[in-house]
Structure 1
Amino acid sequence: MLNKLCLLMFFALGVTFMVKAQIVKEFTVEEKSGFDLVQLNFTSYKGVSQVNKMYSSKAVMIHSHLSKVNILPDFEYNIENRVLHANLNHNNVENESFGKNLSSKLFATSEGDFDHTWEVGLSDSYIYDLNFHFGIGKATVDLSNLKVKRCKIKTATADVALNYMGKSSNPIEMDTMMVKVNMGTVEGVNVAHANADYLIFDVNYGKINLDFDEVSQRKKPCNISTTVGAGSVYIKLPSPQYPYLVKIKSTAMCRTSLPNYLFDMGEKVYASKGYEENASDLITFEIDVSVGSLILK
Structure 2
Amino acid sequence: MAQIVKEFVVEEETGFDAVQLNFSSYKGVSDVNKMYINDPVVIHSHLSKVNILPDFAYSINNRMLTVDLNHSDVEQESFGRSLSSKLFATSEGDFDHTWEVGLSDKYAYFLDLHYGIGLANVDLSNLKIRRCKITTATADVSLKYAKNAKNLAEMDTMQVRVNMGTVDGVNMTNANARNMIFEVNYGKVNLNFEEHVENKKPCQITTTVGAGAVYILLPAPQYPYLVKINSTAMCRKKLPNYLTELSDKVYASKGYDKDAKNLMTFEIDVSVGSLILK
2:82 alignment partner, SS class: helix
Alpha-carbon offset, residue 264 of structure 1: 0.7
Instruction: State the partner residue of 1:58.
Output: 39
Amino acid at match of 2:58: Y
Deviations 1:234-279 (A, max 9, x none): 0000000000000000000000000000001121000000000100
**1:17-28 equivalent positions in 2, closer than 5 A:** 20-28=1-9
**1:286 correspondence with 2:230:** no
Distance 1:194 1:32 in 2: 28
Q: Is the 8 A contact 1:32 1:57 kept in 2?
A: no
1:258 is aligned, of 239, 258, 273, to 239
Amino acid at match of 1:95: Q
Distance 1:98 1:170 in 2: 36
**1:62-101 equivalent positions in 2, closer than 5 A:** 62-101=43-82
Distance 1:96 1:70 in 2: 13
1:101 alignment partner, SS class: helix
Instruction: State the partner residue of 2:212.
Output: 231
Deviations 1:80-117 (A, max 9, x none): 11110000000001111111101000011100000000
Distance 1:156 1:70 in 2: 21
Q: TM-score, normalised by structure 2?
A: 0.99
Distance 1:206 1:69 in 2: 29
Distance 2:122 2:13 in 1: 23
**1:46 correspondence with 2:22:** no
Distance 2:93 2:4 in 1: 14
Distance 2:105 2:218 in 1: 29
Deviations 1:150-187 (A, max 9, x none): 00000000000000001101011000000000000000
Distance 2:108 2:2 in 1: 37
2:233 alignment partner, SS class: coil
> Which segments of 5 or more consecutive residues in structure 1 lack a partner in the other structure?
1-19
> Which segments of 5 or more consecutive residues in structure 2 lack a partner in the other structure?
none
Q: Is the 8 A contact 2:12 2:38 kept in 1?
A: no
Between Structure 1 and Structure 2, whose CA radius of gyration is higher?
1
Instruction: State the partner residue of 1:119.
Output: 100
Aligned pair count?
A: 278
Distance 1:248 1:32 in 2: 48
RMSD over aligned Cα, in angstroms?
A: 0.8
1:144 is aligned, of 125, 128, 147, to 125
Amino acid at match of 1:213: E
Deviations 1:203-223 (A, max 9, x none): 000000000001233221000
Q: Cα–Cα, structure 1 residues 90 and 257, in superposed 2: closer, same or farther, change >3 Å?
A: same
1:99 alignment partner, SS class: helix
Q: TM-score, normalised by structure 1?
A: 0.92
Instruction: State the partner residue of 2:91.
Output: 110
Alpha-carbon offset, residue 46 of structure 1: 0.2
Amino acid at match of 1:195: N
Q: Is the 8 A contact 2:208 2:269 kept in 1?
A: yes
